[in-house]
Amino acid sequence: MNGFEKRSALIKDKIMKTTMELLKTWEVKRLRIADIAKAASVSQVTIYNYFGSKEALIGESFKAFIEDSIREFEEEMQQKKSLKERMTYFIVKDKETYSSLPPALVKQLMIDDLVMYQYIQQQYDDRLVPLMVQMVEEGKAGGEISPKVSVEAVLLVIQMYIKSSGEMLDSVEKHEDKERFLEELFHIFFYGLCGQEAAE
């Protein structure tokens, strides 16, 4: 990559990161290219040259956001950590993601947009599933996951969680205390209704 290409890549990355920052407080329909250009300190022409439209810019920005999240996930899995430490990391990252972006926006981009949904699903199948399998197998080998729980069962629950995320986000959006409700949902997902397995 030559100097011009590096500068172009940096400008494009800055525009996308600025877009994601603005989407934390702006509704998609109200956010204008002019607003993004001003916040990113670039011209509107520059944005149109790189992305063509506001819709394309938002789509590329969200894909870059997903890519960064997956890369962090991959780096985390390379660390020698316990299952509890990894779970804590996942909970914190999920909370950060849903707390920083309005639930309605996440639903619009991840669920309602078919092309984006298919992209995320492909990333999940190709990159996240192998890592989740690795995590579960390491957890079972280390005695951190009950031998009663199979890898397939864990992955099925994760898939069910993803498929119902649209309805869940709708419920979160309507809840008075969004942060506490999200924390409850994450707790149920990772630890179950009882919090721990009852003694036999």
pLDDT digits (tens, 9 = 90+) for 72-109: 888 888 888 887 777 777 766 766 776 677 777 877 87
Q: Which of 5, 63, 68, 17 is nearest to 42 (CA)?
A: 17
DSSP 128-168: IHHHHHHHHHHHHHTT-S-TTS-HHHHHHHHHHHHHTHHHH
In this predicted model, which residue has the larger pLDDT, 16 or 66?
A: 16
Question: What pTM was computed for the model?
Answer: 0.71
H or E segment at 199? Answer: none
Mean pLDDT of the chain: 83
| Domains in the chain: ranges and CATH | 1-58 (1.10.10.60), 79-200 (1.10.357)
Contact between 11 and 42 under an 8 Å Cβ cutoff? The reply is yes
The rounded Cα 26 to chain-centroid distance in angstroms is 19
User: Helix (H, G, I), strand (E, B), or coil: what is residue 81?
Assistant: coil
Rg (CA), the chain: 19
What does the pLDDT read at residue 190? 64
